[in-house]
Structure formats: C-alpha cells, structure tokens
Chains A and B, each alone.
Chain A
Amino acid sequence: MTMRRSSWSALGLSAILLVALAGCGGAGGSDSGKIEIKVATFGEFGYEPLFAEYEAQHPNIDLVPQVSDFEAHHKGLATHLAGGSGVADVVAIEEQYMPQFLQSKDKFVNLADFGAKELQGQWSPWKWEQGASKDGSFVLGLGTDMGGLALCYRRDMFGKAGLPTDRDEVAKLWPTWEEFARVADRFSAAVPDAKFADSAGSIYTAILNQSEENFFSKADDSFIADRNPNLRRAFDIAGSIGAKGQTAKVTTYTQAWNVAVKQGSFAVMNCPAWMLEQVKDAGGNANTGKWDVTTVPGNSGNQGGSYLAVPKQSSHQKEAYDVAKWLTAPEQQKKIFLQSGILPSTPAAYQAPEVVSKTDPYFDNAPVGKIYASAADSLRPNYRGPKDSLVRPKFGLALGRVEDGKQTLDEAWAEAVQQAREAVK
C-alpha cells in the first residue's frame, strides 16, 4: 500500500514536472501598475539621465534600459524578431543594419501610422530617408545621432615627428587624402617606432564615407564595386598606408585597440562624433590633453548613426512610439550632445549655440561642437543598398591581408571583388 501510494505520487510528480516544463514558455507580466517600456541600445547612447526625466513626466511609464554591444545587439534583435518574442519595445538600429531590417519591415510598426511623418522636418533629409522605405510610405525608425567625420591626432607624437601640432595647422597638412598619405610617410620617417594610424580599414571607411555611392548604385541597386573609382581610390590610399606598415593593425572597439590607445601606439584615427567617448574610455585619465580633434581630409562625410524603431511584437506600441519620439526630439538630442558628445541628427539641435560652442577638455579643449556641426552641415550621405552587408566585409578583410603582408594591394583587390561578385550572385 505504501509502496503503491509513493509510486503514484511519483507519477504525479513527473506529471507536474512535465506540465511545468511545458509551461516554461508562458508569458509573465509585470503587475506594478506601470507600463514597462524596454529600450534596447548598444554602446553609449547617453540615455540614462533622460530616462529619469521622462519617467518624472510620465508617472505611468517605467523605462527599462537594455544595453549590449554593437554586434550582440543587432544579432540578438534579429534572433528575437525571428523567434517571435523577447524583443524590447524600443530598439536602436544602426545605419549599416538599416537596409537589412528594412527588408523585414513587416516585423516593425510603421511609425507613420502614429503620425511620424509630421516630424519629418526635424531631420536632415538624408537621415530621414535612410530610416524609411524607398517610396517613403513606411517609416521604420526615427533618427538619433549621426557620425559627422573628423580626425583625432596625438599632439605629442606629432610634435616628436616635427609636424605641426596646432589643429588648424594640422588640418592644412591634409586637404586631400593623398596629402594625408604623404603626412603618414613624413611621420613614419621621423618616428619609426610609432605607427601613424590605427588601421587601414578605418582610413578606408572614412574615405568611402565621403562618396555618395559605395558598392551599389543608388539608382537601381546594381553591383558597382568593380567599377566605382571612389571605392578603388579609398582601397588604394588606405591599403598602401597599411602595406607600408604605417598602421597599428587594431580594429576599433576591440581590446587590442583599447590597449593601443592607452599605450599611444598610433597617432591618428578616424573620429566620428561618437568615437570621442570611446577614446576617453580607452585612453583613461592618463591621456587627457594628449589627443586633439581636427577636420578630415576631403571635406566631411558621415559614419554611423542610429535610429529608434518599434517592433510589432511590442504590446505597448503607442507608448513605445511616444518614448522614441521624445528621445529623438531636437531638445533631447541637444542634451545628449552636451552631456556625452553624441552628435545630433536634427539641424535644430546641432546648430544650437550651446552645441556649437562646446569644447572638450579631454581633447585639449578642441571646439568639438564647431567641428562636428560644420561636418554635419557639409556632409554628403552615402547610399548602401540592401546587399551592402554581404560585400562590405570582403573589402575590409582584403585590407587586413594587405596589412598582414600576405597579399599585394592588387591581389587583395582582385580577390575581394571576386568574392563580392559571388556573394551577390
């Protein structure tokens, strides 16, 4: 009898286990009475203080930040959209991922349905267009920041190399990228044990970001990498600097790059607005005042910048839209710039007097507001196309092979073009 009862109860127990297992996927809700809006971003968006402000204005809203790193954020977003659950209510999408997510726009809320089109005038036109479908009917994301280009350089190392250290003088050294390459030669001849730039890839990206078309034609998305002279020029200039061993061969964001910044392994880097925070983090207090900011050769360009979107999975789409709208409004973008130096994408914000007059003590009081605002005004955005992510890495890897001394510039180029052609076939 006891035996039987215990075996029956064990049976019951395993049944409960099964039910519990089956119930694992069940949804759990928060019952605090407040509406919880999760905001997923990557890296540094400067949102923390703003969240508190928004919650104070909207007592029924509870904002929950979810911050991860760049790759993990976008890959996670894709996985969650595919899986049908787990996605945040407001998600950041970086411009290079925009074409990919625009192809899956049915997974997102059309922000135009909530009246986003009335806000269109806030942004530079290109910024708005990047976040919407080609015909403009579907608005996927509202623009946050942008990556107006500038260059960061080490004053002390330039001094050692006998180059001018004043930022206006340095700007005069390199009106064009060809001149920039000549400065690299001068620098390396004078200071042979230091590297000139961080990587060929970063120079290449900067040059490429000044050209309207990269790998695909703006008109019809056809593959033009093999005949776009701008692309080849960027590859040649950056690649020959790399081939001469004038780069430290460290990729932005990586541990090796952090160490190289801290140790002062290289003297110049491509510095979109959002990079300043990264340099401060990597360089630490010990490097205060050693870096400076100046203009980029060949006028301006854009590198990076994000959007806020609302996935359809969100159960509070309207509230999520309100949050995204508020966070991307010029007033908030201005605050973010003043706090964290992240460049606004709305002219009303980056042309505001307090933005233009901002200087940064870490970069020897460089007038970062003026530099980036003028970069923003003169920049020509570049067109990416939906297959951009398939081919872009091939050329980056090719430059890496040149830096490693494994291939000549021409060999690397030929292989990259061939791989790119295969990828878009």
Chain B
Amino acid sequence: MPARPSALPSTVSGSHSSQLLARIDGRVSPYLFIAPFFVLFAVFGLFPLLYTAWVSLHDWQLIDGDQGFVGLANYAALFADPDFYNALFNTASIFLVSTVPQLLAALGIAALLNRPLRAGTAWRAGILLPNVVSVVAVALVFGQLFGRDFGVVNWILGMLGVEPVDWEAQRWSSHLAIAVMVMWRWTGYNALLYLAAMRNVSRELYEAAALDGASRWRSFWSITVPGIRPTIIFTVVVSTIGGLQLFAEPQLFDSSGTAGVGGNDRQFQTLTMYLYEKGFGLFDAGYAAAIAWVLFIVCLLSALANFALVRRIRGGG
C-alpha cells in the first residue's frame, strides 16, 4: 500500500501548509464562488460592449471585417442622418405609448388582485400567461388582428361604423398597434411584481388609515404606491431599457417581413431595427456598432432620468 501523501497532520510542515491552504481558501473562495457571474458578465456583457465600441471606430464590413480606422466618422455620419432621428423619435414614441399606460394598468390590476378573491391564485397565474407566449407568436397574431383587409380590429371598427384603418401605413396607428402588443405581453408581468411588493406593505398602515376615515383611493395613493416604490423604480428602469430596445414586435409587424424597414416611410422603424438594417441588410457593421453605442447611452440616460423622476414618489420605507 503506497504511503498517503501530505495530508497527514503529524508533521510541523504539514500542519503549516494546511493552515496556509486554509487561509488562502478563506480569502480566495468567496471570490471564486461569485466568479461565474463576473466571468459570464465579462464574456457576454463587457467584452461585446468594448468590442462594439472598437468596431464603431472603424470602417467595418460585416463579412470582410476591418477596412481601416476612421475615428468618429461613423458617429458624425449618424448624427447627420435623418433616418437615425426618425428611428429615435419612433422608439421614444412607441416607448411612451406602451410603457406609461402599461405600468398604470399593472398597478391597477395588482391592486385588484391584492384584495381577497375567489380562486385568487388562478387569476394571479393567469395574468402572467401573455408573457409566456413567444414574442414572435404575439407579433404574428397581432399582425393579423391589425390586418388592413381581413383583420379583426378593423372588422369590429366596421361594426361600430368606423372606416377601416390601414394600421401599418400611418405613423400614429402603427405606433398604437405595436404598443398594444407590448402592453399585452408585459402588463401582467409587471402586475405580478407589484402584487408581490404590495403583499409586504404593512396591514397596520391600512387599518390606521381606515380608522382616520381615508378612502380606498386615498390609501392606495398614500400607502400602497409609496410602499412599493423600489419595485416601481425597478419596473420603470427595466421597461425603459426594454422599450428602447424594441425590435421583434415592430419588425414582424412590417408586412414586408424581415426585409422591411418599418413601413414605406420608416414610420415605425425603431433604433434596433435601423441597426439591423445597416448591420445585417447592408453589411455595414461599423455604422451599426455606432448605432448600438448611441442606443446604449440613450438607454443609460433614460434609465437614470426615469430613476430620478420616480424617486420623487414620496415616503416609503
């Protein structure tokens, strides 16, 4: 039988080295435990971000790669590009039309679900269902519903005596239709987040308010909303980022399919769709990278602005 290696604690050097190992273990292990996240973040988050910045400073063709350093030329071209401002406007517009009503509706739904209900769990699970459906399916189904010639929405409007709307052709109608898709998908999800937060608001506050004769409406705005402030901030920031990166819904809403650029007048082309057109339609990766970086900055600034805005909700914990 071969001798067992160093693990014997009897010798002085052995115990010394095991103490050293223990110390290293104590120092290093915690970092290693959290390392997977940071490694993943570095590989899938930080590296692409920096690499994109590098690409955006070059004349970079998608297939042939680097064609030479051009400095900020891509950005200069981008800031002089009317199609970019058009896409920026569309993105902001669709974001506003979808996010504001969506979060308000989520708040209302959560408040309703927070009351004693028959089959409460079923209701609560039910509102999450739209979120489980694939975004592609959602876009295809809603694309049909909002169809010009055979769409259900126009059919219903027709019964009410309203002229059929060519949803895709106009700026306002296309934005509205896309916003409806976004709302349908995400309202339930946000409502569940609010509901979870509302469960943690202290009952005593409501009882005290009731004793003071506060109305339900009053206690909702004065107790519930401030009580779930951190969750509201979270949903606003996440919705902002999601809204600014909107891609699948408008792209699939375009009846020209993936070749489409968001309508004949680019009336619903979002920033990510423009990025896709430049990068993967015209193979101009440098320009697309510049759009990506501008989009990143826009996301950052809007998230910060929204954060500051929502923080002004008074009170809370």
Contact = CB atoms under 8 A, between A and B. Distances in A.
Contacts of B207: none
B285 to A, nearest CB: 7
Nearest to A84: B65
B36 interface: yes
Contacts of A8: 25
B62 interface: yes
B281 A256 contact: no
B169 interface: yes
Interface in B137-183: 140, 143-144, 147-150, 166, 169
A112 interface: no
Contacts of A52: none
A260 B258 contact: no
Contacts of B33: 10, 14
A401 to B, nearest CB: 5
Contacts of B140: 255
B103 to A, nearest CB: 31
Interface in A64-83: 69-72, 75, 78-79, 81-82
A254 B257 contact: yes
A250 interface: yes
Interface stretch (A99-107, A340-348, A353-361, A370-378): A99-107
A21 interface: yes
A390 B285 contact: no
Contacts of B283: 78, 100
Given A4-B25, A14-B33, A404-B166, A79 B261 contact: no
A107 B147 contact: no
A267 B22 CA distance: 83
A318 B62 CA distance: 27
B36 A17 contact: yes
A126 interface: no
Contact of A104 (B64, B147, B263, B285): B64
B32 A259 contact: no
Nearest to B149: A265
B32 A14 contact: yes
A400 B36 contact: no
Nearest to A24: B43
A104 to B, nearest CB: 4
Contacts of A21: 39-40, 43
A382 to B, nearest CB: 20
Contacts of B36: 14, 17-18
Contact of A260 (B35, B63, B149): B149
Nearest to A253: B257
B280 A104 contact: no
B280 A255 contact: no
A327 B171 CA distance: 47
Interface in A100-152: 100-101, 103-104, 106-107
A78 B63 contact: yes
Contacts of B263: 400
Q: Chain A interface secondary structure, helix, strand, loop or mixed?
A: helix
A8 B262 CA distance: 55
Interface in A12-44: 14-15, 17-18, 21
Nearest to B40: A21
A190 interface: no
B125 interface: no
A255 B64 contact: no
Contacts of B264: 397-398, 400-401, 403-404, 406
A11 interface: yes
Contacts of B149: 248, 256, 259-260, 263, 265
Contact of B63 (A15, A17, A107, A250): A107
A393 B261 contact: yes
Interface residues of A, number: 47
Contacts of A7: 25, 29
B144 to A, nearest CB: 7
A222 interface: no
Contact of A81 (B40, B63, B266, B285): B63
B196 interface: no
A251 interface: yes
A18 B39 contact: yes
B248 interface: no
Interface string B253-273: 001111101011110000000
Contacts of A11: 25, 28-29, 32
A389 interface: yes
A75 to B, nearest CB: 5
B259 A104 contact: no
B282 interface: yes
Given A11-B32, A107-B63, A401-B265, A256 B285 contact: no
Interface in A49-103: 69-72, 75, 78-79, 81-82, 100-101, 103
B62 A79 contact: yes
A106 B285 CA distance: 18
Interface string B119-147: 00000000000000000000010011001
B143 A255 contact: yes
Contacts of B256: 251, 254
A389 B277 CA distance: 11
B35 A406 contact: no
Contacts of A107: 63-64
B239 to A, nearest CB: 29
B33 to A, nearest CB: 7
Contact of B255 (A70, A71, A250): A250
Contacts of A18: 35-36, 39
A70 B257 CA distance: 10
A394 to B, nearest CB: 10
The residue in B29, B259, B266, B282 that gathers the most chain A C-beta atoms within 10 A of its C-beta is B259
Given A11-B32, A82-B65, A254-B256, A75 B280 contact: yes
25 contacts: A10-B29, A17-B36, A18-B39, A21-B39, A75-B281, A79-B62, A82-B63, A100-B283, A106-B64, A107-B64, A249-B148, A253-B257, A254-B256, A255-B143, A259-B149, A259-B150, A389-B282, A390-B282, A397-B266, A400-B263, A400-B264, A403-B264, A404-B169, A404-B265, A406-B264
Given A70-B259, A82-B63, 4 more contacts: A21-B43, A75-B281, A249-B148, A389-B282
Which 4 pairs, one residue from A and one from B, show the smallest C-beta to C-beta distance?
A: A400-B264, A104-B63, A71-B258, A404-B169
